[in-house]
């Protein structure tokens, strides 16, 4: 059940990222240039097949010129796409098959 919720979070974050990118009239390549995140990774995040870890999410937010509350909400949405392990001090990116 948790895997389905995480996949939905990834898909939702992907739609948010794509919407923000389109609203700014940016191509994947444009956002790659502005954020330093490879366009293939951005595409995978937008499709919901990859999580956006904290570093990548922060770079994307900066590339999209998000600030204040908008940036905080974007980073929180990205955080929801990660699977946290109680045994570790960080996150584990896992491949979900739904």
pLDDT band at 88 (very low <50, low <70, confident <90, very high): very low
Instruction: With a cut of 90, say whether residue 70 has pLDDT above it.
Output: yes
How far apart are the C-alpha atoms of 92 and 83, rounded to whole Å? 6
Q: Report the domain count for the chain.
A: 1
pLDDT score, position 37: 98
Could you read off the pLDDT of 57-68 as tens digits, one per residue?
999 999 999 999
In a domain, 40, yes or no: yes
* Domain carrying residue 28: 2-84
E-strand ranges in the chain read 83-84, 91-92
In a domain, 36, yes or no: yes
Q: Give the count of beta carbons closer than 10 Å to the beta carbon of residue 58.
A: 18
Question: Is this prediction's pTM over 0.85?
Answer: no
In a domain, 97, yes or no: no
How far apart are the C-alpha atoms of 42 and 57, rounded to whole Å? 10
Q: What is the CATH number of the domain that holds 23?
A: 1.10.260.40
DSSP character at residue 92: E
User: Under a CB-based contact definition with an 8 Å cutoff, are residues 42 and 31 in contact?
Assistant: yes
């Amino acid at each position: 059940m948790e895997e389905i919720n995480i996949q939905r979070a990834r898909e939702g974050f992907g739609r948010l990222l794509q919407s923000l990118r389109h609203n700014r009239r940016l191509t994947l390549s444009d956002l790659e240039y502005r954020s330093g995140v490879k366009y293939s990774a951005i595409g995978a995040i937008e499709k919901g097949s990859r999580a956006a870890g904290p570093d990548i999410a922060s770079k994307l937010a900066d590339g999209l010129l998000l600030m204040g509350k908008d940036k905080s909400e974007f980073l929180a949405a990205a955080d929801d796409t990660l699977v946290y392990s109680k045994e570790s001090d960080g996150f584990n990116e896992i491949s979900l098959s739904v």
